[in-house]
Structure 1
Amino acid sequence: MNNPENRTLTLERTFNAPLDLVWEAWTQPEHIANWWGPKGMQTKVLQHEFKEGGNWKYAMTMQDGSEFIADGIYKEIVPKARIISTANFKPMTEGVEIQALFEANGNTTKFTFHCVHETEEYCKQQEQMGFYNGWGSVFDRLSEFVSQ
């Protein structure tokens, strides 16, 4: 009835960088600040307890000076394979689960990102609000960051 597949948005990328580098960029606060958030946004890592049950909290400042907060709790961490976390991106998105999956493929990294919403309706609304453009821009920045 409430099938997760019907309330999940997914993006896939191949990063032109080895798994170790992509994992480090995703998990180290000094690197996260360089790519997290769409183009033109500045990110400050306010909290980063990278462990299961640990909290993360980032402040993102848009070009017009307005700020919003992204936060969540790490639910599952499998080193160099998977990170699953709750996530809120207030005021746009709340109560989602994000799943970042990493897979080495020679000197590149296959990356799959799932965002699971509470309901199909909420999922559709988030898609219409620009999920693919927003997260696509974030992962463009990550791709540039790990390719340097």
Structure 2
Amino acid sequence: MSNNVISRVENDRVLVLERIFDAPHDLVFRMFKEPEHLKRWWGPKGWEIPVCNIDFRPGGVWHYCMKCVDQNQGQFYGMESWGKGVYKEIVEPEKIIYTDYFSDAEGNINESMPASLITMEFIDLGGKTKLVSRSEYATVEALKTVMDMGMLQGITETWNRLGELLESLNP
């Protein structure tokens, strides 16, 4: 399996990420729709998901909390980061489109942080899956804000955790 996440920026405000997973695309898709799976891999290394509520349908909401549980991460240890996704379109097992927001524990959107429109494509490669994520931001500055926060490293670590879980489920 390739652990390499390929990334590029299109039109100055769209971050495109790609990776091939050594698992069937229906299994990879399921990892994004079921809370019991997301809790096992979502978030960078050293972070857990103590809260993960999903209403997986167009108009439904995914509300979650990532919490740093790794003491070696210094100032981040114990920190919580809340997120909220609102699903726009779901074509099982090929595509998920949702708007991703920073939020608080009650699900209120943090308007001071950039939101993104995310399109996830799950491409069947005959037993493997190419995952393509397109995150579209309103402005160039919004994309720069999340990149400066370490989002690319975070998603790479997150997808590595997904790859490890898929290997254990699909030996």
- Report what 2:132 is aligned to: 112
Q: How many angstroms does 1:109 deviate by?
A: 0.3
Measured against aligned partners, the alpha-carbon deviations of 1:36-74 in whole angstroms (never above 9, x if no partner) come to 111110103442100000011011111211211111210
1:140 counterpart = 2:160? yes
The aligned amino acid for 1:34 is R
Q: Structure 2 length as normaliser, TM-score?
A: 0.79
Q: How many angstroms does 1:11 deviate by?
A: 1.0
Alignment of 1:71-110 (within 5 A): 71-90=84-103, 93-110=113-130
Q: Which moved more, 1:56-65 or 1:87-96?
A: 87-96
Say what the alpha-carbon RMSD is for the aligned residues. 1.7
**Structure 2 residue ranges without an equivalent (≥5):** 1-9, 70-76, 104-109
Contact 2:85 2:100 in 1 (8 A): yes
Contact 1:9 1:127 in 2 (8 A): no
Alignment of 1:1-148 (within 5 A): 5-63=11-69, 64-90=77-103, 93-148=113-168
- Distance in 2 (CA, whole Å) between partners of 1:46 and 1:146 is 19
Q: How many angstroms does 1:103 deviate by?
A: 0.6
Contact 2:86 2:99 in 1 (8 A): yes
**Structure 1 residue ranges without an equivalent (≥5):** none
Higher Rg of the two aligned structures: 2
Q: How many equivalent residue pairs?
A: 145
The aligned amino acid for 1:124 is K
- Distance in 2 (CA, whole Å) between partners of 1:125 and 1:65 is 23
Contact 1:14 1:109 in 2 (8 A): yes
Q: How many angstroms does 1:89 deviate by?
A: 3.1
- Distance in 2 (CA, whole Å) between partners of 1:134 and 1:89 is 15
